[in-house]
Amino acid sequence: MTKTPALMVLGTGSHVGKSLIVAALCRIFSSAGLRVSPFKAQNMSLNSAATTEGLEIGRAQAFQAEAAGIPASVHMNPVLLKPSSDMASQVIVRGKIFAQFSAEDYFCRRNEELVPIVRESYEILAAQNELIILEGAGSPAEINLKDRDIVNLRMARVAGARCILVGDIDRGGVFASLFGTLALLEPSERDLIDGFIINKFRGDIRLLSDGIRGLEERVGKPCLGVVPYIENLRLDEEDSVSIERTASVPWRPENSPNRLLRVAIIRFPSISNFTDFDPLIAEPSIDVRLCRTAAESDGADLIILPGSKQTVDDLRWMHEAGISEVVRKQAERGLIVGICGGMQMLGTAIDDPYGVEGGGTQAALGLLSIRTRMSREKTTQEVTGELIIPKLFGEPLSSSTVRGYEIHVGQTEYLETSSPFARIRRSGDAEEFAFDGCTSRNGRVLGTYLHGIFHEDAFRHEFLCAARKACGLAPADSVLNWKQLRENEFERLAGTVAGAVDPQRLLGLVSLVWPSVPAQEGTCASRR
C-alpha cells in the first residue's frame, strides 16, 4: 500500500520553533486545497486541550489543527507526558490517564509498549488525509535517548517521511547546532533529512550567505529557507519557556479612572494551560503581571489563580510564599478568579483519598463554599453553557453565553450557601446539563472549571466591563476581537514562512505537486 506523503519538522533542540513551523505549513497547504493534518507521536507539556471526542491532547497539536482548519483529534498526539515533578510524569495515552511513571521507568522500560498505539493512530490519520506534517520533539540527536526515541527519526521511518531540520538563530550558535545535530546522526538517519531551515532571523540576510554556503558544503544538504523573526506573534506557545518572557514589572502609581486594569496571575510552580490568559494579555485595557511573590501580587485589582498540574503542592507553595494571605485580603477589597485547580484552591478543602497527589486532606483558602475530592478518572470535555448568575462582580450582564473545555482530576461538591457560576452542557451530551463553578456571597470571588473561557470575545468583554466598573474604573476605550486577531496571526505566520521557504519545493520532497484547486481568497497560499 502506498504511504500517505509525510513531511517531518525536526529541531536542533526544544523551543526552536518546530510547533509554529508545523502550524504554518498546515495553514499553507490546507489553504492550497490539500487535506493536511498535524501529528506528534509524543509530546511533553502542561498545556493541553480537550478534543470533540472528550479526550486530552497537547495544546500544540490542537493549535496546529486549528491552523489546518480541522477539528483536533486524539490521534494527532497519541502520547502526552505531563510532568508532575522533575523526575516523573503523568502519561496520557489516547487522551486518557495511562499511568504515572518516573522518567527512568518510562524511557528505559515502558515507552516501547506504546509504539503499536502510536503507529495505529498515525495510520488512522494518514488514511484520512493527503499530507501529514509530523513534529519531532527536542532534538533527534540525543544520543543518551536515541535508541528509545519514539517521536523523531524512528517515527519518520514509520511514516516514510522526509525531514527538515530547524535551527534557532535567535539563540546564537545556529550553524554549530545544525552541524552538530547532523554529525551525531548515523548515515542512514542523515539520509532522511533533506535540508535545514534557519528560524527567527533578525537583520540583514546577506550577512548569512557565507555561513549558509559553508554549512551546505560541510553537511551536503541545502538551506531550505531563512524564516524572519516574527515580532509580537500572538499565537500559542507550547511550553513554559514562553511565560518566562512576560516581565513582572511594578505597577506605576496611578489613580485615573481610565488607567489599565491591574491583573495578577499567580505563577504556580506547576502552572498548566497558561494559554487561557493570552486574550487577557493582548487586551489593550489590561496590565497583566505573572507573580511569584506576595509583594508582586499585592496591589492588583484582580488576582487569578490559574490551572495547576499539582494542585495540592501548589496550594502549599502559595501558603509558604505568603500569597494565600494576599488572596484572602483581596477577597475583601478586590476581585478573584480561580480557573480549574485555582478554583479548587478557593474552596474549603481538597481531599485526596486515592493518593492522586500524595493523599490526605489539604485545607484550602475558604473563599468559596465548595469542597473537592480528587479522583482517579479525569474529566476532559468541550463545554458550552450559560451563566446562572444575574450579575458579575455585582454588575448586570447583557450576555450570558460561555464556552470552553474541562480538563481536571477531581469532583467538586457544593456546600450550603453555594451559588453555581454556570449551567453547562458537555460535548456529545445534548440532553443533560450540569452546574459549573461557584461565586461567593459578595460576588467578588468566582471559580470555574472552564479553560479557554476568555477566548470567547463576548464573555471576555462582559467580564472586563464588569471588572473595571467594580474597581471604580471607566469603561475601556477599546476591546480586542480575539478571534479575528488570531486568524490574522495565523495568516501572518503562514505568509512569513511561505515567503521564506518555497512551499512547492517542500511538496516536491514528498513527491506532491502544488494543487490546481484555487486557494481560499485572502489566504497566504492565494497570494503566492
User: What are the catalytic residues?
Assistant: 340, 451
Residues 6+ apart with CB under 8 A from 66: 72, 490
Q: Is residue 279 a contact partner of residue 460, using CB atoms and an 8 Å limit?
A: yes
The span from the CA of 522 to the CA of 504, in Å, is: 19
Residues 6+ apart with CB under 8 A from 214: 175
**Amino acid identity, position 64:** Q
Q: What angle, rounded to 10 degrees, do the helices at 482-500 and 59-68 form?
A: 80
**Amino acid identity, position 31:** S
The span from the CA of 262 to the CA of 453, in Å, is: 19
The span from the CA of 303 to the CA of 446, in Å, is: 11
Residue 378 main-chain phi, psi, to 5 deg: -110, 135
Cβ atoms < 10 Å from Cβ of 432: 8
Residue 114 CA to its chain's centroid (Å): 23
Alpha helix positions (H), 184-234: 187-190, 209-219
The span from the CA of 352 to the CA of 422, in Å, is: 26
Going from the C-alpha of 64 to that of each of 94, 208, 332, 523, the distances in angstroms are 17, 30, 42, 16
Q: Is residue 473 a contact partner of residue 257, using CB atoms and an 8 Å limit?
A: yes
